[in-house]
């Protein structure tokens, strides 16, 4: 028994050490890439891209399910984006409120005689509408397919641009976000097939008529923890993986894709739980099978602001759903593991996601249990406990602190020193007890998936505009 506990503790120590070492490499890589990106920003001439007749059009696809409280502000905000060739496709996904009637009244929608080819499967499309006052606005009215993926597929069928961007109806894009992300895509349009921007927490910020007026840090502790998580995930995780051309996910809240490629792989998997992760993995798989050179990029300054869960119940549901989505993508692609044919997908991306993402809560729970048992039986030595705290807690905390400092040195969205100091202080509490809470929620997600519980549950949100919404259906949300 003692020998088994000792072996378990050593395994946990090696696991933590490996996980943190990987993130240390990603942090160093992210610092290098961010420094390079800052130099590149000085040479970007966004006004040239804006005025050039060769700038490719983008179809902005917005799935909307029961969004009557925010849809008008959202559409107005998106139509004001600083991009010269924009088509806005709103997909009314079987809303049973006044989402469609609000759009019809505000934008004078008229039935459009357009050819709709259902190249990608989705629930039945009832009608297409074109605005009489805003020719860039197209509304697709369809039966609900029960998922964001199904709604987006209908939007892709209706899209007429070589690039598409999917954004949630309750999120806010900064005015120059499309210009900034497309400037990178067009630096090598043959090779770069997709790119994601950064997603930041909207909670606490001042918003008026669907536009971000002032960036502020949230007041609630739970929301501040999520700010730190997002900074680490995007500024370190995705920035680092993009350097190795092994980006596993582009956030469903903000990403640009080549339309032809998305159609070639059959669009979004209609019943995927984590449709954003699933799409990018299928892109990697298809392009590896085709032996094509490609790049899926991350650009750290084009920004989408989205509202994060503000209560424990909603956050628990979100994290459980994310973990269900992780397994829902990993399992169908298990045949690619360790196969050279699938290159970076089979030999790097998916092995990492299996070991350090999916199995992480299981390994951690087992580790905590054996450490407690070893302490009770007197097997746990002082030296091991010190090393575990150093590498398991202190190292991970330093990574979080590094993400906050990287944000402060580069983009400085939180300009008040008090807000920065508060973020740094909360880094000390992220890995205890917040990490253990997310561990339980992720385990709950595994259990729900294994017993077939794939239902999207309602999450409370306050909404974007001054007239707050009480709640919204979870299926338009992204990560």
The Cα 302–Cα 339 span in angstroms is: 35
pLDDT for 12: 81
Contact between 466 and 451 (Cβ < 8 Å): no
pLDDT for 14: 86
Domains and CATH numbers, the chain: 19-356 (3.90.550.10)
pLDDT for 432: 84
pTM of the model: 0.92
Ordered strands of the 58-64 beta sheet: 109-111, 125-131, 137-142, 86-93, 58-64, 163-166, 255-258, 192-201, 295-306, 172-173
Q: Can you list the residues of the chain whose pLDDT is less than 50?
A: 465-478
Q: Assign 175 to helix, strand or coil.
A: coil
pLDDT for 460: 64
Taking every pair of Cα atoms in the chain, the longest distance, rounded to a whole number of angstroms, is: 77
The Cα 223–Cα 229 span in angstroms is: 10
What is the end-to-end Cα distance of the chain in Å, rounded? 42
pLDDT for 476: 39
pLDDT for 463: 55
Q: Assign 396 to helix, strand or coil.
A: helix
The Cα 165–Cα 120 span in angstroms is: 17
């Amino acid at each position: 028994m003692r020998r088994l506990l000792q072996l378990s503790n050593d395994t946990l120590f090696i696991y933590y050490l490996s996980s943190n070492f990987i993130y240390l490499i990603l942090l160093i890589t992210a610092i290098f890439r961010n420094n390079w990106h800052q130099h590149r920003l000085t040479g970007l001439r966004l006004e040239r891209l804006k005025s050039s007749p060769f700038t490719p059009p983008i179809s902005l696809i917005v799935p909307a399910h029961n969004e009557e409280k925010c849809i008008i502000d959202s559409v107005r905000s998106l139509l004001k984006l600083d991009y010269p060739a924009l088509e806005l496709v709103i997909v009314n996904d079987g809303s049973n409120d006044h989402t469609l009637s609000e759009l019809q009244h505000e934008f004078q929608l008229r039935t459009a005689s357009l050819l709709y080819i259902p190249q990608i499967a989705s629930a039945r499309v009832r009608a297409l509408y074109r605005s009489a006052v805003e020719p860039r606005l197209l509304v697709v009215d369809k039966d609900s397919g029960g998922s964001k993926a199904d709604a987006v597929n209908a939007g892709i069928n209706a899209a007429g641009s070589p690039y598409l961007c999917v954004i949630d109806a309750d999120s806010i894009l900064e005015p120059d976000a499309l210009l900034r992300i497309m400037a990178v895509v067009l630096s090598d349009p043959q090779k770069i097939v997709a790119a994601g921007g950064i997603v930041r927490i909207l909670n606490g910020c001042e918003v008026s008529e669907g536009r971000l007026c002032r960036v502020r840090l949230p007041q609630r502790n739970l929301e501040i923890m999520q700010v730190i998580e997002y900074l680490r995930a995007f500024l370190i995780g995705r920035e680092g993986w993009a350097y190795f051309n092994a980006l596993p996910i582009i956030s469903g809240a903000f990403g640009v894709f080549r339309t032809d490629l998305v159609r070639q792989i059959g669009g979004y998997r209609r019943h995927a739980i984590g449709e954003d992760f699933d799409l990018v993995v299928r892109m990697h798989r298809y392009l590896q099978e085709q032996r094509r050179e490609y790049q899926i990029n991350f650009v750290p300054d084009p920004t989408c602001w989205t509202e994060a869960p503000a209560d424990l119940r909603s956050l628990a549901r979100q994290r459980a759903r994310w973990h269900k989505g992780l397994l829902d993508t990993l399992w169908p692609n298990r045949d690619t593991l360790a196969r050279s044919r699938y290159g970076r997908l089979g030999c790097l991306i998916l092995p990492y996601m299996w070991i350090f993402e999916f199995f992480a809560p299981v390994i951690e729970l087992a580790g905590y249990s054996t450490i407690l048992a070893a302490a009770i039986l007197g097997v746990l030595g002082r030296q091991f406990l010190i090393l575990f705290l150093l590498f398991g807690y202190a190292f991970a905390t330093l990574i979080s602190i590094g993400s906050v400092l990287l944000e402060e040195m580069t983009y400085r969205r939180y300009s008040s020193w008090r807000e920065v100091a508060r973020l740094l202080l909360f880094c000390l509490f992220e890995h205890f007890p917040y990490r253990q809470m997310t561990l339980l929620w992720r385990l709950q997600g595994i259990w729900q998936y294994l017993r077939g519980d794939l239902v999207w549950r309602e999450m409370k949100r306050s909404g974007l505009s001054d007239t707050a919404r009480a709640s919204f259906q979870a299926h338009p949300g992204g990560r």
